[in-house]
Structure 1
């Protein structure tokens, strides 16, 4: 989901959070579980499916060390299923950003949630993990404590209210940190500011670091990525990342491709790479490539990207091989930064949505891209709504391609940002926190009986 910045450091809270440099100590187990420990994981969209798959793998690793057998139920996507989760519903393609943009997904969301609820009523979980996916998972924050009052709930990658701050409109609080704090027994934060904010609100918080640190350990560097993709060392290459949501094909892709068309006119030898977030977008993207006359190669992950590692991911290879990325705002911005590739970020929503957010809800967002959020400073250029024009994207792109000082300043910002993300071992720390809570809950139940 989109991430944005709080109005001040005070809004992020001032709690002291210990850096996640080591695994939390395991709670002791006196015997193997008589049955599999049943965990339910709820997430959605492409990024949630990725984060969920990394967590599923870590849970299995850490459970094996404890002699535990897990039954992993999930709302997610192909990656989570390939990692070993049993899907109760597929949600990787159910997601949007904005008010009117969300309307087509209301009924599909309610339908898959009903499916999950019916299954869990028959087979109750031992613990619930919510990952990102703010709207649906906030609804679960209301439902699960009532339906399963003794089942611990963990929120991993909580709603970005720590970024937005306590914004109110017409006497109504726009976001629900209070609900998250009340519903959960643990919040696993991936940003230091997130941890501080929710701890200041009374949450039981552990800062584990950002999971992409784990994933990117295996990613190819520029030379190996170019070799894998057959790109000559001297080929000027720009990667375009227009959409992981349906609405972004409508609002972002035309602007981005128009900018690419102008860049192609100015840089005759440029070639564009366009990785597909979802294979169902291929036809619309290929039609747009023809319409704008772009010299571009579309890259689709084999088997719908269900089993890719960072080393074999075509998306990450395309990013690593590129001289520049022109990209939508989202998790991919951090992947680009961790691969040390300069980037230009854009985002647009429906103009009516933007007007309501600005004029009615008085919603202000100084930053949207994760690299700028980590230390709350403008590392990468962002162009939002009316500022997201082909001309602005072209100007910013040429500056990064042709001005070595601008490029080096961004790369230096990446280095500082990386240090603030924590240390490798994030997913294992998150898994340990979750399993510790399962064991503690099981022990408490046995003592009561």
Structure 2
């Protein structure tokens, strides 16, 4: 960016208008679409002391009079981080609407899921331009989410909204960073109030709790190194302050977004690791009954392209690791997607290229329980196949499925297989809880 585009430089600061131009120029080729006027239009507010750009907080400083500026180097760093993000428009995460109000961290003003839901549900939607003129939020953390929002309709009545997983992680990171920023601001204010005389104390927080002067940026989340290994979720989740402790880690799966929840094995009850909301929902099926799973395309990532990371994560549960297996729903999905892949019918592609693609919708169900492996049976079927509405591909006994998985695990992820085995049964509960699906909410507690 040439010098003439960023006038008003004072000690490394540039004006808000110059920062808008700089941001737009630096992110013009980014895979994630960005908005214009990110420093001067809603929801940005320089008087708050910061502006969110991607997952980074950029401080705003009052340069004199009514003029506000931002450090040029911080804008460039935020742009470089955003430009490094790879966007897969096919890897989508549902963001709403849900039956209940979306779970949000009330400590941060961003609350991006609620903002998007509220904006999309408003009647008389006249488009992006009208929203910008009305002062309503048309971007979040510098990202123009409307350009990549996907709307799907089920049964011609129910609308659902989806965003690429990379963008969901960015917005989650922005929300987490903002929460830390505000906590640091409050800490500084309380420290100043304790050390300064009351007659000289100066209020630094606005009415809504935002900082009017810029505190130092809080420390970024640290990498998770197995600190919670072997803990029971039923015990750990009740400890005071555990949510704040979880937020101090980076997601143990993707290792990019800040963690927000404790993922745990619902079959054995052990904590696996702190993960972000995106990874916590990635392993869940598109549709789930008490013993019936639709094996959707996202299982390609779980069992193919990102298999080593996910196997390691699932085997953080001592119960799964000791028995060299997976919880019953995961094992059933693996059996349908991987072990029975060659049995699935295919048909010619509509493009006429000669390639063939899988037909119908893959589904797996089971009878019995993992607690009675001799009687447990997995049934793999294809729904809506032209050659049969519900075509059964295979019936696999639980023990056979588990043995197939052990062989495949040794070939696919030797390091994970080496760490597993029947010689590591110490401290495991004698009776595991039965697999019970919670289909009454979007949480899908089975997973």
What TM-score do the two structures reach when normalised by structure 1? 0.27
Structure ranking higher in strand proportion: 2
Q: Which of 1 and 2 has greater Rg?
A: 2
Instruction: Report the TM-score, using the length of structure 2 for normalisation.
Output: 0.27
Q: Which structure: greater helix fraction?
A: 1
Q: Greater relative contact order: 1 or 2 (C-alpha under 8 angstroms, separation 6 or more)?
A: 1
